[in-house]
């Protein structure tokens, strides 16, 4: 992969529904060149597929995270998985309440042993009044994550701007996003995760790297992107200077489930 391919992946990781024309304009290539590059990334197996990620809070659920060290992998009920080079596996769990989240984490503990990190964010309001239209939009996106918005509106029989406003609102509140699954072994790009109890201090340091963040006022998990190992190392070094106890994990494979 060259610099343009890495930028394509970066924009897609930030928002998997970013229009190709917008990506082409942002990196200074023609729409035809972008289409060729994206097709090649897919054909080469680097861009494996796109998936819809829905935050558990959208359905009124809690979520929690636990990281385990070792070679074992857990195939139980999880929302997402991040497998890391340090033989650390980070899992996201969901449940109707705190007890169910704790129970699911405990099921993983029975298989993998005690976690090196556990974090259950406080329940938060999704920030929108979730209605049937929102759920129907997400059902369509589950089947085809990059479907045109005009086709969504037509399928649901609603005005284009109505569908756009609802989807934009869900995205802005962090309730729904489309994510590409990338074969990270095929290029010099790095996705890394950081858990810190100094979230408010690290947030501006990692702002340019963050793909998404899960946090409360003090604790946070950052999932970050860098276009090369050297830049990732620089960011991690700055994090270590601020928080020597931060958990840093270099991700080589990830999955989202819905």
Question: pTM here?
Answer: 0.85
Model confidence pLDDT, tens digit, residues 154-178: 999 999 999 999 999 999 998 999 9
Spatial distance between the Cα atoms of 60 and 123, rounded to a whole number of angstroms: 9
Spatial distance between the Cα atoms of 153 and 117, rounded to a whole number of angstroms: 42
Closest CA to 120 of 243, 198, 219, 258: 219
Model confidence pLDDT, tens digit, residues 2-24: 889 999 999 999 899 999 999 99
Residue 258: per-residue pLDDT:
67
Whether the CA torsion 195, 198, 203, 206 is positive or negative: it is negative
Residue 29: per-residue pLDDT:
94
Residue 72: per-residue pLDDT:
84
Spatial distance between the Cα atoms of 85 and 117, rounded to a whole number of angstroms: 16
Domains detected in the chain: 3-44 (1.10.10.10), 132-172 (1.10.10.10)
Residue whose structure tokens are 């990338």: 182
Instruction: Print pLDDT tens along the chain (258 aa).
Output: 888 999 999 999 989 999 999 999 999 999 999 999 999 999 999 999 999 999 999 999 999 999 999 888 899 999 999 999 888 899 999 999 999 999 999 999 999 999 998 999 888 788 889 999 999 999 999 999 999 999 999 999 999 999 999 999 999 998 999 999 999 887 778 999 999 989 989 999 998 899 888 887 788 889 999 988 889 999 999 999 999 999 888 999 999 986
């Amino acid at each position: 992969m060259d610099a343009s391919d890495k930028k394509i992946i970066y924009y897609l990781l930030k928002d998997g529904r970013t229009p190709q024309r917008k990506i082409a304009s942002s990196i200074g290539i023609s729409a035809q060149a972008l289409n060729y590059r994206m097709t090649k990334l897919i054909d080469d197996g680097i861009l494996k597929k796109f998936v819809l990620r829905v935050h558990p809070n959208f359905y009124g659920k809690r979520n929690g995270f636990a990281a385990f060290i070792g070679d074992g992998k857990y195939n139980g009920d999880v929302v997402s998985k991040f497998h890391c080079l340090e033989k650390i596996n980070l899992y996201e769990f969901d449940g109707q309440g705190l007890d169910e989240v704790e129970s699911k984490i405990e099921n993983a503990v029975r298989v993998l042993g005690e976690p090196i990190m556990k974090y259950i964010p406080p329940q938060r309001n999704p920030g929108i009044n979730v209605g049937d239209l929102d759920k129907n939009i997400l059902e369509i996106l589950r089947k085809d994550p990059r479907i045109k918005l005009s086709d969504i509106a037509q399928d649901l029989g609603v005005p284009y701007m109505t569908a756009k406003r609802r989807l934009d609102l869900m995205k802005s509140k962090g309730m729904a996003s489309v994510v590409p699954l990338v074969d990270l072994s095929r290029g010099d790009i790095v996705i890394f995760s950081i858990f810190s109890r100094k979230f408010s201090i690290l947030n501006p340091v990692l702002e340019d790297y963050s793909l998404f963040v899960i946090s409360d006022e003090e604790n946070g998990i950052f999932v970050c992107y860098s276009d090369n190992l050297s830049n990732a190392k620089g960011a991690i070094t700055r994090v270590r200077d601020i928080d020597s106890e931060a958990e840093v994990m270099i991700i080589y494979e990830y999955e989202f489930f819905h």
